[in-house]
Amino acid sequence: MTNVDLLTDAHLTGARSAENGRSAELVLHDGPLRQTIIALVAGVELGEHNSPPAASIQVLRGKVRVTALGEGDTELGAGELRVLTHERHAVSALEDSAFLLTTVTGVPTA
């Protein structure tokens, strides 16, 4: 069992002391399903990147902005959950933030 609150605290602390202002940990890996806690200090961005076949972001603390081509910007605060675009996107921290990124990286063929 994983205590998400304790991990959130630990990764926010880690991000605040890291040179790049971020900290992350894969906390669940079950076949194609992955869940990762990511913490970013205010002003840090995960630059534009491709999206996996399916993904969601749930903000645990703070506030982030998801920027996606064709969809514009979306701001999310603590407790908010959103499906991530299938287009290239970026995530930036508007304040010290932590979020749970859930992805499905592929579905095995039978």
52, part of any domain: yes
CATH, residue 68: 2.60.120.10
Examine residue 110 and state whether it is found in any structural domain, yes or no.
Answer: no
Number of structural domains in the chain: 1
The burial of 1, by beta-carbon neighbours within 10 Å (0-12 exposed, 13-18 middle, 19 or more buried), is given as exposed
Q: The domain containing residue 19 runs over which residues? A: 4-104
In a domain, 10, yes or no: yes
Predicted local distance difference test score (pLDDT) of residue 109: 57
- pLDDT: is 67 or 63 the higher one? 63
- Residue 41: closest CA among 95, 4, 77: 95
Give 67-92 pLDDT, tens digit per residue.
986 777 899 999 999 988 777 889 99
Residues 6+ positions from 14 with CB-CB distance below 8 Å: 23, 39
- Specify the pTM: 0.91
| Domain-located, residue 66 | yes
Question: Residue 106 has what pLDDT?
Answer: 73
85 found inside a domain: yes
First to last CA, the chain: 30
Judge whether 50 lies within some domain.
Answer: yes
Tokens 């990511």 label which residue?
38
Structural domain contains residue 109: no
**Residue 28 lies inside a defined structural domain of this protein:** yes
